[in-house]
Amino acid sequence: MLEIENLHVSVDGKSILNGLNLQVNKGEVHAIMGPNGSGKSTLAYALAGRPGYEIKGGKVTFEGRDLLALAPEERAHEGMFLGFQYPVEIPGVNNVYLLKAAINAARKHHGLPEVDAFEFLTLVRDKMKMMHMDESFLSRGVNEGFSGGEKKRNEILQMLMLEPRLAILDETDSGLDIDALKVVSNGVNTLRSPERSIVLVTHYQRLLDYIVPDFVHVLVRGRIARSGDKTLALELERRGYDWIIEEAA
Amino acid sequence: MSSALAVRIAAEHAAASASLPAQVVSTERRRDAIETLVSEGLPSSRDENWKYANLRPLEKVRFVALAGGTQGGNAALTSADLPAPIGGYARYTFVDGVFAAALSAPLAKAGITVTSLRTLPDPLHFAPSTSKDSRFALLNDAFATDSASIRVSTGTDWSMGPAGGPTCIELVFVATVEAQAGSSYPRVEVQVEQFARLGLIERHVSLGTGANFVNASVQVDIARDATVNHYRVQESGAKATWLDTLSAVLAQGATYKLHAVNAGGLSSRSTINVLLAGQHASASISVASLGDRQQTQDVFVRVEHSAPHARSEQTFRGISAGRARVAFNGMVVVREGAHGTDSQQSLRGLLAGPEAEIDVRPQLQIDTDDVRCAHGATAGKLDDDMLFYLLSRGIDPETAQRLLKWAFLEDVVARIEVPELRRQIERSLAGQMHEADALKELL
């Protein structure tokens, strides 16, 4: 699904990722953890193609294609989804319009006709119910005036509608209370399938109680310093990051 | 402006004065207006508050209205040439500044009278403006050929019309003549008495694509605890010069909501003066301007707080594309003694082309303590974070930019509380942005 080899990324001339390697196979859930400033969000943005995240070296293959050669919208068409840590508010563009436009953009790319309006609405309503979102959210501006938790739920709603093959969720758990965390995790779990992969970027082990990962990686200074299974996250919870940072030094 | 222009205006006025209707503006007042213009000159780009306006087309204008403003208008004009009517609004059409009964559907509602001043000997008279920025209102005084005079009596409410009938008013001003042949002087006088509420739409359009010269003057007087919702849409022809002076005075507890959309014309300048004369008066001014090609869209707003505890709000969203210049100069003056003033400005301009120009300028003059004045002004390009967010969802860059430009204007347009009018404006703006097809799902 996703192969990252020796990836180097700079932001504002500062080197953030320094030779990162990662392989994510179909159906797997990977958690990327690590201290502040270790490059977790940079990895997410670089994979999604955000301008300003300069690729200095390395190779990323997504479903056999050179990911880094694709424009951000093409990455989305190919089935990649980035769940933002800070979803952007766009007053004046309403949620339902964005959802539909996003789905149709991917369908057009794959030579499919536009989605049927009735089926689309039925589907949105179902997914919103799952995310415990009121229907009034549909007619509001994208994330406009949403609380932190509402924004995160809206990200997951978009993900459920777009059904990506690879979802990269950047600190989707931050700013969520325990009830919202359950709702969001439940949303993510419904998307788990042998055909799909998920990369969770997170600070805390708490999220991994609800979305149980197959692999846990610890990022230190822009490289993966240690990988393991879900027990690594529990160990981090107990011991903190210092011992890994020391080992990596 | 050169005094040579004022002298030419005076000469044109002298030649036409006998045919100018005295019921609309008295002969003395017209003469006074000309005298002031000759002594003070017209505004020019050297005046601080006029530096963004394009006044060059004035040199080629014939200032007298066609045939001295005799009744008639353009006989070829039919209602099909006008914007679609708005439900609940009775239409009054003025062609080249003169009331056209055949294109109007008068209101049958007790408490509101709308009259063409050419036909009534009992006009409402506002004092002429003395502000230097209102000199084009004097030009209107001098040459006006008709006036829409609206009087709403005490306690009359827009919701109390005859069943199913309109209770609000729409004024449509159509310009048809070339500026070299004659000018058009839309004129509106509105008096709303205590506790009354008025909904007013004012539209300015052109027939064809001639280089019209339109110089409008609008005066609004809102008595104690009365409310006016005023929608103004400027969709003049692509070569038109459109000048406008609006003055509103609010008494105690009065509310004035002005929504203006400027999309048409080659050279457009709107001068808006709002005086909060009574305590607890409230004015909200929302302006959306769209400039493209060689257009100039210039708006100057001056809000004066002269009484305590009044509030005012100015919101501006402007997009400049092509080689256009879009300007908004928003001034707030808080007089001594106007304590407890609450004034807010949110002014934003968007540059949508390398050769376009945006000028957004907030100004505050505060002569008292204990006021709350918040103002924010930005001029820039599309927000990169928003753009990337849309791209990451698979939206192509061109559509994403269109959406964001649209969203930017919608901030103001969405406040229009008359759904039919809002839809018409949205369609028209999308058309102006050459993006009606791309945005069709939003319209």
Could you write out the DSSP letters of every residue in A31-45? EEE--TTSSHHHHHH
A135 sits in which H/E element:
none
ipTM: 0.96
Q: What rounded mean pLDDT belongs to chain B? A: 89
Q: Tell me how far apart the alpha carbons of residues B282 and B142 are, in angstroms, rounded to a whole number.
A: 32
The yes-or-no verdict on residue B123 having pLDDT over 60 is: no
What does the pLDDT look like over B131-166, one tens digit per residue?
889 999 999 999 999 999 999 999 888 775 555 566
Is residue B143 within 8 A of residue B185, CB to CB? The reply is yes
Split at pLDDT 50, 70, 90, the class of B71 is: very low
What is the average per-residue pLDDT within B401-423?
Answer: 89
Q: Give me the percent of chain B exceeding a pLDDT of 90.
A: 68
| Cα–Cα distance, B223 to B85 (Å, whole number) | 29
Select the more confidently predicted residue: B312 or B398.
B312
Q: What pTM does this model have?
A: 0.82
Query: pLDDT-based confidence at B399, cuts 50/70/90?
Result: confident
For residue A137, give how far its alpha carbon lies from the nearest alpha carbon of chain B (Å).
Answer: 16
Number of domains in chain A: 1
The predicted pLDDT at position A14 comes to 94
Total residue length of chain B: 443
Neighbours of A118 (CB within 10 A): 8
Identify residues of B whose CB sits under 8 angstroms from chain A CBs.
383-386, 388-397, 399, 403-404, 406-411, 414, 441-442
Mutation for testing the B interface, residue in A85, A90, A107 having most B CBs under 10 Å: A90
Taking 80 as the threshold, does the pLDDT of residue B122 lie above it?
Answer: no
Distance from B385 to chain A by nearest Cα, in Å? 7
Report how far residue B127's alpha carbon sits from residue B22's, in angstroms, rounded to the nearest whole number: 16
Structural domain of A9: 2-248
What integer pLDDT is reported at residue B200 of this predicted model? Answer: 96
Q: Which residues of A touch B430 (CB under 8 A)?
A: none
Q: What is the pLDDT of residue A248?
A: 78
Cα separation, A84 vs B144, whole angstroms? 59
Query: Which residues does chain A have with pLDDT short of 70?
Result: none
Which helix (H) or strand (E) segment holds residue A27: the answer is: none
Structure tokens belonging to residue A240: 């903190």
Residue of B nearest to A103 (CA): B394
Q: What is the pLDDT of residues B36-64, one digit of tens each?
A: 999 999 998 889 999 999 999 999 999 99
Give the span between the Cα atoms of B194 and B183, in whole angstroms: 36
Higher pLDDT, B106 or A108: A108
CB B308 within 8 A of CB B339: yes
**CATH number of residue A154's parent domain:** 3.40.50.300
- A49 vs B399: CB contact, 8 Å cut-off? no
Residues of A in contact with B408 (CB under 8 A): 92
Residues 6+ apart with CB under 8 A from A29: A192, A197, A198, A199, A200, A211, A212, A213, A214, A215
What is the phi-psi region of residue B55: left when phi exceeds 0, alpha when psi lies from -120 to 50, beta otherwise? alpha
Tokens of A5: 């080899």
